[in-house]
Each structure stands twice: as C-alpha cells, then as structure tokens.
Structure 1
Amino acid sequence: MLLIEHRYTGTDESTKTLTLNFDLRTKSRLRTTLDSGEDAGLFLPRGTILRGGDRLLASDGDIVEVYSSPESLIEVRCENLLDLARAAYHLGNRHVPVQVGGDMRGGWLRLADDHVLADMLRGLGCMLSHLEAPFEPEAGAYGGGHSHAGDDSSAERRGPRIHEYRSPA
C-alpha cells in the first residue's frame, strides 16, 4: 500500500490522481484507492481538509493530485441578497457545510442534497435546483476544532486555522 503523509508544494508534475468526495477529503486517516486502482493510506496532520487541486507527496516519491468528485447537491438562489443572506444564516446556524459562489445570474449557495433542509429553504422563499458537481464548501467551523479567545489550550491543540481569508490587495 502506498503511504501518503505530506502535502506537496513543489513545481513537479503530478504522476497519480485521487478522486474523493468532500466527506472523505476531511479525513486525516483514510485507507483509499487511487484512480489507477492502487491502494493508498492517507496519514495527514489532524484537521487537514483536502481541496480539489491539492497535491500530496507519496512515500515512493510520486506526486498525487486530489480531485473533488461530483456529489448530489442543492443549489440555492434567492430573489435578493437579503434572502440569500437569511438562507446562509439558517444553514450556518445548523452547522451545514455550504459552498458560496455566483455567476452572471447572481449569488448561490450549494449544500449536500437533504430533503429536510430543502423544505426549510423553500419555506424561506428560496429557489432550489438539484445538480451533480464537485463540492468545495467554505472551511468554516467544521474545518477543525472550535475554539474561543482565552481557551486554556495551546495553538497546536486547538487545530488548524478554521477560516480562509483573502490576502490584502
């Protein structure tokens, strides 16, 4: 079995690929199969979340590129930004992983297909569509450990940084 313990940040080309859904990309310990059929074991730092396009260094020196597999998702759109913000608030209040995006038609939220949440969103006046697409939700509070200022624990025990901020322009 191929052992994978590190991210790769170099410039060499990827030689292998690994396609996983979002749930599996949040596991730091995982027995899996590369797209080639080769068995592999992920032993990454706790709290690691893999994103489509991330690259990993295998024990044999190969570079493994991660792909996000398509999943059954709900895309949420609203008539105005206030309603979209309200929908995002209610999903966040339930700690639901949500991908935030937009296109020429406006902003949208995407979440894993769930009939209970779909009913709630329709009740809020949202327009829903179902699609199969890679899922890349915001890192949010489920990105590893929840902590507050003044916690009596070291940064190492608190887990990774849970928010992804844009770099200053």
Structure 2
Amino acid sequence: MLTLTRRLTPDPTATVQHTLALTAEERTRSRHYFETETGEGVYLHLPRGTVLRHGDLLQSEDQCCLVRVIAKPEPVLVVTAKTPLDLLRAAYHLGNRHVPLEVTETYLRLSPDPVLQSMLEQMGLQVAPAILPFEPESGAYGQSQHHHVHS
C-alpha cells in the first residue's frame, strides 16, 4: 500500500502511476485510506486541514510514485439564472447558510438539498439535478490556489 504524504501543484504533463477519483467531501480528508481507480490501496497522510483540488498531485513518502487527484462526478444541483444579478443573489443566500458552493460566472453547484432547491426555485432560478464533478470554494481564508472543473 502506498502512503501519500505530500501534495504537489497540478502539472498536466507529469507522469503519474495512479489516479485517485474523490468526491468534494473526500478531498477534505487528510488522513484516510482510499483505493485508486485500478484498486491500488493508498493511505493519505497529509498535513491536517489539507484540501485537495482537481488536478493536484500526491507524492508517496518514498518519492517514487505520483498520484493525480480528480474530482469524481457526484450528485449536485446546478443553478442557473436569467441575469447575473439573480445568480449573485442566490450565491448570497446560499453563503448565508454556509453551504459548500461552486461559483462560476454562469452557474452555481451545490450538494442536493430539497429545502435549498425549493428556495432557489421560489427565487425564480433554474435548478437541475446532475451528476458532475463538484469543486466548492475553499473559503476566504483557505488555499490561495483556485481552479474549477468545467463539464
């Protein structure tokens, strides 16, 4: 079993030995056992508070192996609006509820929640369930590195 102890910045040209598909919630775990897409067991032993992002590389403690993290498709709600102001209002109301939220210029994504879905629909927004990668914001005091997965 590989023990992954170091997070490296994304490098699409890096040669990796394994790919690790994780949900948004799983990417917040710094100490956990997972299996790669080929069934290889890996143990994350990263600094507490590490939040992994799509494309991050993980290095094994013996430095011989690289694993690429990918955002695993998961159930989400995709929120769109007729105007940018309507989308901004939705982000404001969801932020007041401290909901993990993926924010882009054209849509918001959040985990399925029937109460929030109803609120958004009552605000006149379009809400569609989907199974897509989910890359919520890391927070104002989180990591400075920021990138989205578009699908």
Q: Same fold (TM over 0.5)?
A: yes
> How big is the shift at 1:165?
7.2
Q: Which residue of 2 aligns with 1:110?
A: 109
Q: Which residue of 1 aligns with 2:15?
A: 13
TM-score in terms of structure 2 length: 0.86
C-alpha spacing 1:123/1:43, structure 2 compared with 1 (3 Å): same
Q: Tell me which of 88, 95, 98 is aligned to 1:95.
A: 98
> How big is the shift at 1:163?
5.7
Indicate if the aligned counterparts of 1:21 and 1:134 stay in contact, CA closer than 8 A. Answer: yes
> How big is the shift at 1:8?
3.0
Q: How many residues align?
A: 143
C-alpha spacing 1:109/1:26, structure 2 compared with 1 (3 Å): same
Q: Secondary structure at the match of 2:92?
A: helix
- Taking the aligned partners of 1:36 and 1:93, their CA distance within structure 2 comes to 40
- Taking the aligned partners of 1:131 and 1:82, their CA distance within structure 2 comes to 23
Work out whether 1:140 is the aligned partner of 2:139. yes
Q: Which residue of 2 aligns with 1:127?
A: 126
Work out whether 1:162 is the aligned partner of 2:137. no
TM-score in terms of structure 1 length: 0.77
Gaps in structure 1 of 5+ consecutive residues: 142-160
Q: Which residue of 2 aligns with 1:144?
A: none
Runs of at least 4 residues of structure 1 off by over 6 A? none
C-alpha spacing 1:8/1:79, structure 2 compared with 1 (3 Å): closer
Q: Which residue of 2 aligns with 1:57?
A: 59
Indicate if the aligned counterparts of 1:8 and 1:63 stay in contact, CA closer than 8 A. Answer: no
- Taking the aligned partners of 1:68 and 1:87, their CA distance within structure 2 comes to 24
**Residue identity in the other structure for 1:69:** K
Gaps in structure 2 of 5+ consecutive residues: 147-151
Q: Secondary structure at the match of 2:77?
A: strand
C-alpha spacing 1:121/1:12, structure 2 compared with 1 (3 Å): closer
Superposed CA offset, 1:7-63 (max 9, x none)? 135874111111110100011111111112111110111111111110010134110
Q: Which residue of 2 aligns with 1:147?
A: none
- Taking the aligned partners of 2:89 and 2:14, their CA distance within structure 1 comes to 44
**Greater Rg, structure 1 or structure 2?**
1
